[in-house]
Structure 1
Amino acid sequence: MASIQYIKGVRTRFRNILDLEIQKGDGLLNTEIDEEFDLDRMLNEVSKCFEKVKEYKEKVERQSEKLVESIDKKESEMIEEIIDEDLTLCEKAFDMCQNLQVFTKTLMQSKEKLEFKVDQKDYTHDLVEVQKNIQQLLEAQMRQQEKEKRKENEKMSSIKLPKIDMISFNGDKTRWTEFWDSFKNAVHNNKYISNVEKFNYLKGKLVGEAKSAITGLALTSDNYIMAVDILRKRFGNTQEIIDLHYSQLINIPIATSKVNSLRCLLDGVDQHIRSLEVLEENVNPGHSSIYSQIKVA
């Protein structure tokens, strides 16, 4: 596996290139168009910029995932900082791609109009109108995007994203219910967090067999849903969990007459009984035979 320094370096290079392409896109969108303007050249430049922004957006996302996976999970603040930085840049890239697509359509319409013009007297007037239409379209779109961002910022200002301080899950099926209830309430059901962010939080809390179960899934919105489904099927089968609790409860080591030994026995029994109650099992001493099988030496 590549070193963290190398992964950081590649991520920085990809981010710098993406930022430069976004700036280039801003320049293209604000280009003054006059009667001498070469629409074919502009279309070519816009197309190349669009492809570059799209390509390096995807590279930044992949490199961000690699870096998060390489960092010690204890460094949650660094992980959150990386996620926030890359999400912000990728959102700018996404907006730029949309703007360039709209601009391309407008330029194509302008080109078609100019190709069918035969009256040289109307040429200048039509070109000015095209420029006005482009400008009006861009201004309207920018106003709409700013309005949507303000609404989202207002929502986010009243919402604090959950810190990654929940319990981890290593594949022990008897701990699945506890882990999933905690994660679901803090992250999964939070409608203000994207699926990509949720996937990052989820990966940060998995270790051992649980982490291996979703290894290879790229950091995407659809893959988050797939990862949750895989974990539920493998570790969240209710009947299997119940059977494991009964098995471990019956096989608790026999206690001696010492206080510490008796306390360990009691704590172990209480842990499994509480878990079975959560799973809606009837663990009433008068109803269940499990108590008769718990021995004290």
Structure 2
Amino acid sequence: MQSLKTERKIVKDAARKHFQEIEKVGQDDKEKISELLQQVLVKAEKVFSLDNNIKELLCNEEPSDEDFSEEITEEMNFCTEVTKYTNKCNFLLKKNKEAEAEVKNEKRKAPKNFNLPKLEIKKFDGNVKHWINFWGQFRKIDENSDLPDEDKFQYLIQSTEENSPARNLVESFPPSANNYEIAVDQLKTRFARDEVLIQVYVRELLSLVLSQHISPEKSGSTEVPKSRGGSRRANKTCTKQFFFGKRSKNGSG
């Protein structure tokens, strides 16, 4: 049994050297802390195993209450030390991990300074055709959660042309945080309805197709129509040909 106690003392002394190192280690030295924690756990496991062997031998020898009490007290004291320093290591590792996460989060939030040209929002004049381009730029301001609504309202006023229908509509509301969303909703209701946008772009597309279809390059003629009636008839003919294709005299495709 004495040999077991000697071995246990050697292992405990080695563990207590690690305890001293833990007291001195820097809290940012994650690798060293992890290494010390592992070494403490290995030696503690060895000591606890020796404790069990010694207690078994003591029980076989029918020790006095004093001897047994002394053995239990020594075991509990060492267990308390192990708990203290393993907790300290775990605390330092957790703190280190939180600090790393905070640094990563700050880097993610930090604005990237690229030398890009300054973007200027083209002012909206109230023309439905210009709404999509305008809103595609202004929505970056609208969706910016860090910008107060009263500031967004001022940007909205500045982003509309003076004396235009859009500016008149926006300025019909007192410039306040509460009125910002109301002003935006009214702009969308008047200038951004789907059916209106579709109508406008279909007209534009049809006008482009017809102008290309009856252009001198396509028709091979430089003759200008003599009357409005002739022009209308030409446009109607071109429209039918575009949508339905040319038909032969007998009506077959």
TM-score range, shorter chain: 0.3 to 0.5
TM-score by length of 1: 0.32
